[in-house]
Structure formats: C-alpha cells, structure tokens
Amino acid sequence: MKYKRILLKLSGEALSGNKGYGIDPKILMQYSGEIKRVMDAGTQVAIVIGGGNIFRGTDAAAAGIDRVQGDYMGMLATVINAMALQGALEKVGLFTRLMSGIKMEQVCEPFIRRRAVRHLEKGRVVIFGAGIGNPYFTTDSTASLRAIEIEADVVLKGTRVDGVYTADPEKDPTATRYTRISFEEVYQMGLNVMDMTAFTLCKENNLPIIVFDMNKAGNLYRLIQGDDDIGTLIS
Ligand code: UDP
C-alpha cells in the first residue's frame, strides 16, 4: 500500500447525489463500501465532510443571516452529514468515531489530536465534524489542518471531476487533466484545487493532495495501492 494513513475530504454536495440538496442514502452506502475496501486493506482512514448540501456560511447574507451565524450553521450541517456517514459506515461493519470541532458531548467526542491518532491505530474510521470549529474557514481548510495534525500521508479530495484540468472540463471540451502538478504551478496558473487557506497549509507542510473522482467504483482503492493514473497529484 502506498498510503498508510489518509485524510479523505468529501464535500457535502457529493452526499446529495443528483438531488442537489439533503442526503442520498444510496451515495452513503456506496461511499461506505469504497471506504470499507481500503480499511480492509489496512489503510487508516480519517474523513472530513463538508456541509454545502445543507448550508454554507456564504449563503447567509442572501438569507438575511449574519455571516458568523451562518458559518456556525454550516459547521452544524457538517455534523448532520458526519452522523449520516457514521451510521452508513457502521452498517457495512466498520468501527467509527465522530470527533467534533465544537463540543457536543451527547452526540460525539470533542476533537483531541492524540485521541484521534489512537482511534486510527485501533482501526476505527475517524470522522471530523464541525470543521475547525471557527467561522470564516471551510471544510477544505479543516481537511488540510487535521491531516497535518494526525500526520496523514496525503489529503484525498473526492469530487465529481476526476482531477485538476487545464480549464473547466464541464465548459471547455478541449480541457485536459494533469496527472501530476506542483504546488507552485497551481499558484502560478491560478488553478482551483482548494481555497487558498487550505491549499497554503498543504504547501507549507509538504502534504500532497490528490483530487479524484470518488463516484467511480474502485478509484479510492486503486489510489491507495499507488495507481498514479487516477486523479491529479499535487505535491
Ligand atoms: N465552516 C466554518 N468553519 C469551518 C468549517 C466550515 O465556518 O472550520 C462553515 C462554512 O460556513 C462553510 C460550511 O461550514 O460554508 C460548510 O462547509 P463547506 O462549505 O466547506 O462544505 P462543502 O463545500 O465541502 O460541502
């Protein structure tokens, strides 16, 4: 196995499937199956999940809500997604722990770095909910930060697109996928991989990112086996 400990970032939107809103149980089960396969192969898996399928802080103004208030709503949305994913992972027979960036002791554990690492070592899937616990951040930044804290080998950003392209492949049919690209090139070309805070954290800590299509069966497994033709590796 190429990667022993991974941080998998899933967007909230991905969980909604084709509905664009809410949670599609079929997607939950599909992702859980993919995650089980890599857990069974012995890889330690930590997950950060977004909340965009329910609420984003940036939607707050349009809804007449204060931004900070909206960000906390977004963070709580990630906990709803995390709980849904936790349930699905347990259904396929995995042991899990949900750790939150905001204390909510009836629901889950608070994030404690050493404890998170211990859970991983014991073969539990660790889900980080509620982002970092602070407004004005994203779950991409949470993924970068937590990955650094738990010393993950790589951040795997599962998206709908199978990597980073020269242009938006949904708009430009001539766009081609990079299989490998440096942090510097991403900066120079202004490519959109993650928000700048998240991206800079990875760059400054030499933490590689792989953007890949999480919806294609077997992709996650092949990635951790070291198949370098999947997605785009940024390092
Ligand atoms: N959020 C935040 N601090 C964090 C993580 C998330 O304030 O550390 C809020 C922010 O409003 C964000 C929302 O939670 O818009 C949902 O997360 P995100 O937009 O990253 O979800 P995704 O796009 O991955 O579904």
DSSP letters of 166-223? SS-TTT-TT--B-SEE-HHHHHHHT--SS-HHHHHHHHHTT--EEEEETTSTTHHHHH
Query: Residue 91 is part of a domain; what is its CATH number?
Result: 3.40.1160.10
169-187 burial by CB neighbour count: b if 16+ within 10 A, else e? beeeeeeebbeebebeebe
The whole domain housing 113 covers 5-234
Residue in 24, 54, 56 to alter for ligand 1 test, most ligand atoms within 8 A of Cβ: 56
| Residue whose token pair is 């998206």 | 159
* Ligand 1 binding pocket, CB closer than 6 Å: 11-13, 50-52, 56-58, 70-71, 74-75, 77-78, 131-132, 134-135, 137-140, 142
Name the 3-class secondary structure at 108.
coil
| Cα-to-centroid distance, 71 and ligand 1 (Å) | 7
In order along its 235 residues, the chain shows pLDDT tens digits of 899 999 999 999 999 988 889 999 999 999 999 999 999 999 999 999 999 999 999 999 889 999 999 999 999 999 999 999 999 999 999 999 999 999 999 999 999 999 999 999 999 999 999 999 999 999 999 999 999 999 999 999 998 889 999 988 888 999 999 999 999 999 999 998 999 999 999 999 999 999 999 999 999 999 999 999 999 999 9
**Closest-lying ligand 1 atom to the alpha carbon of residue 70:** 11
For the chain, the domain total comes to 1
What's the pTM? 0.97
Q: Could you tell me the two tokens for 66?
A: 């204060």
